[in-house]
Amino acid sequence: MKKLYFLFVLLFSAVYCSAQKNFGPWEQLSCYKGLYVRIEKDHYDKKTNQWFYLIEFQNRYNKKVGFTYYFYNPATEKPKEVNPGYTFGDAYPRLKPGDITRQQIAVIGEGNPIAQVFDVCFVFNKDGQTSCTAEAFKGNGAFAQCDNGTPNYIVYTTTAENDSSTAKSTGNFGNETSPGNAQQKKFDYMIVQGDSAFGNKSYDNAMTYYMQAQNIAVTEDQKSTARQKYNQAAEARQAVIRGQRVAAAKDRDKTEDVAYTAAAGAAIGAMSLVNDGYTHQGFSGKFQVGVGYDQTPMVTNAVAASYADKVAYPTVDFGLKLEMLNNKPVNINLRGLYSVGLHAFETGVSGTHVITGVDGALQFWYKTATKFKLFADFGWYHRVGDRKRDQDAVNGGESATDDVREGKYNYKVMRFGFGPMLHIRDRGKETWLKPGVYFDKVSFARDDKPTIVFSLNANIKSAINIEAAYGKDYPAGGTANFPNAFTAAKQNYFSVRIMRQGKLW
């Protein structure tokens, strides 16, 4: 089995990968600086739980090059479980200077994909095939070492069986006369370079050198040393990523706090300006504005796991209401609703939740002037939202859990309900109370029975409107990226809005 001598690890952060809609800029590999890579997140296959990526490599060396690479999700896969992509051999063409190769590759589940580049070769046979080997063989090349943009490799001038083998050097390692000493020198070189990169806080480069040291390690002491140093560099790198992630979460918290404070302040100011009253006209229009608080069940995803969570957030609400047949035994009203929520004043949690829809009511009795009526409500709502919760940011950066849960939902709700209504008119003002039972049918659970939601709506002397709803074991919207590792939980829905309305006509 061929030994992997040279390995480059390219880590793509979750934020970068999830945000990519087109190819990003070319990124230079830190080890093989003549190779550049870029990726595009293509699509998700729910049936196989695979994310598909497009990956491109470009050769900016002054020589033709071939190499092997893995692209995989370390949270769900191991390199030996995926097929390497070859840019040389019979499967794919070699890369001449300036050439670009593209492939579509799938990884299992959501996470931070890793690209491993190894077996970099600059020596080719006459038939165009690569001619690099791990063991010395006359005329063959050794797999390349890290470089500064110029190919760094040797061409063997004799076989490994010769006691005094020599090599033509095109890189930094020079002529070698003892295989044992040569191996130790290469190992020590990788460790020294890794330590230097670690000291300069260049943890990606340090990991690359330590990984190369692991691949050429022979003794148990060498293997243990390289492994421990690699783990230290990986932990240090993760700590830097964690710190950046927590700092970004704090910035998002501040932005959402300011945005909601401004929006809620404007809404409350508008509430103080509008006035309402009962009208005997057959048709009237009213504007509504207010604030509220919602709790919505939704599916969130972490690394290799999905959860049924609940998210709670303050809202700012607007409505346009039309009232018809006010002076008849049967009255009808229709309302257009827009509600937006932010995770304001919640450390380490960010997201936006929007509801747009239309609802209305049919209120009736056998005569007009009565305090008791029956009502039948109906509504159609479109709910769209996203949420990200970083446990380390929640803990103020004092933990190292790397527990980040993200989710999105986009679905529609049909609502029907009924109940009694107490309606009192006094000196141009009206007060009513509407306790009711609703039945919510969500678009992603068409085969399930409607969910029962209890409601209480009130209008107090034409001054304050209160709308409250509560549903137990409400369906959680969103997509579980890891259905086989889904933690189900019963979550409840509730919504409270305090609004004022003003007569338009």
441-470 pLDDT tens trace? 999 988 889 999 999 999 998 889 999 999
- Does residue 238 fall inside a structural domain? no
> What pLDDT is attached to residue 79?
62
Q: What is the Cα 46 distance to its own chain's centre?
A: 16
pLDDT for 84 beyond 70 = no
Whether residue 283 is found in the same domain as residue 140: no
DSSP letters spanning 437-499: EEEEEETT-TTSPPEEEEEEEEEETTTEEEEEEEESSPPPBS--S-GGGEE-----EEEEEEE
- Does residue 204 fall inside a structural domain? no
Whether residue 144 is found in the same domain as residue 290: no
Give the model confidence (pLDDT) of 273-304 as tens digits: 988 877 777 888 999 999 999 999 999 999 88
In the chain, what percentage of residues exceed pLDDT 90? 44
User: Residue 160: pLDDT band by 50, 70, 90 thresholds?
Assistant: low
Which of 19-33, 83-97, 176-190, 274-288 is modeled with the greatest confidence? 274-288
> What pLDDT is attached to residue 82?
56
- Does residue 55 fall inside a structural domain? yes
DSSP letter assigned to residue 141: B
- Does residue 213 fall inside a structural domain? no
User: Residue 145: pLDDT band by 50, 70, 90 thresholds?
Assistant: confident
Whether residue 142 is found in the same domain as residue 287: no
Give the model confidence (pLDDT) of 13-61 as tens digits: 333 343 345 788 898 988 889 999 998 888 888 778 888 888 899 999 9
pLDDT for 420 beyond 90 = yes
User: Residue 180: pLDDT band by 50, 70, 90 thresholds?
Assistant: low
Cβ contact 213:190 at 8 Å: yes
Give the model confidence (pLDDT) of 352-410 as tens digits: 999 999 999 999 988 877 889 999 999 999 999 999 999 999 998 888 888 999 999 99
pLDDT for 164 beyond 70 = no
What mean pLDDT do residues 69-73 have? 80
Whether residue 291 is found in the same domain as residue 397: yes
- Does residue 243 fall inside a structural domain? no
Whether residue 173 is found in the same domain as residue 282: no
Give the model confidence (pLDDT) of 249-265 as tens digits: 999 999 999 999 999 99
Name which of 135-139, 159-163, 189-193 the model is least confident about. 159-163
Q: 155, 177, 199 — which closes off a domain?
A: 177
Whether residue 166 is found in the same domain as residue 279: no
Whether residue 24 is found in the same domain as residue 148: yes
Taking the C-alpha atoms of residue 30 and residue 377, their distance in angstroms, rounded to an integer, is: 63
Which of 90-99, 323-332, 437-446, 480-489 is modeled with the greatest confidence? 437-446
> What pLDDT is attached to residue 72?
79
> What pLDDT is attached to residue 501?
92
pLDDT for 309 beyond 80 = yes
Amino acid at the residue 478 = G
> What pLDDT is attached to residue 142?
84
Q: What is the Cα 89 distance to its own chain's centre?
A: 37
- Does residue 392 fall inside a structural domain? yes
DSSP letters spanning 376-445: EEEEEEEEEEEEEEEHHHHTTT------EEEEEEEEEEEEEEEEEEEEEEETTEEEEEEEEEEEEEETT-
Q: 145, 177, 209 — which closes off a domain?
A: 177
Which of 114-118, 228-232, 315-319 is modeled with the greatest confidence? 315-319
- Does residue 394 fall inside a structural domain? yes
Residue 412 lies in domain: 274-503
Check which CATH number belongs to the domain holding 401 and give it. 2.40.128
Q: How many domains does the chain have?
A: 2
DSSP letter assigned to residue 270: H
Whether residue 162 is found in the same domain as residue 295: no
- Does residue 420 fall inside a structural domain? yes
User: Residue 93: pLDDT band by 50, 70, 90 thresholds?
Assistant: low
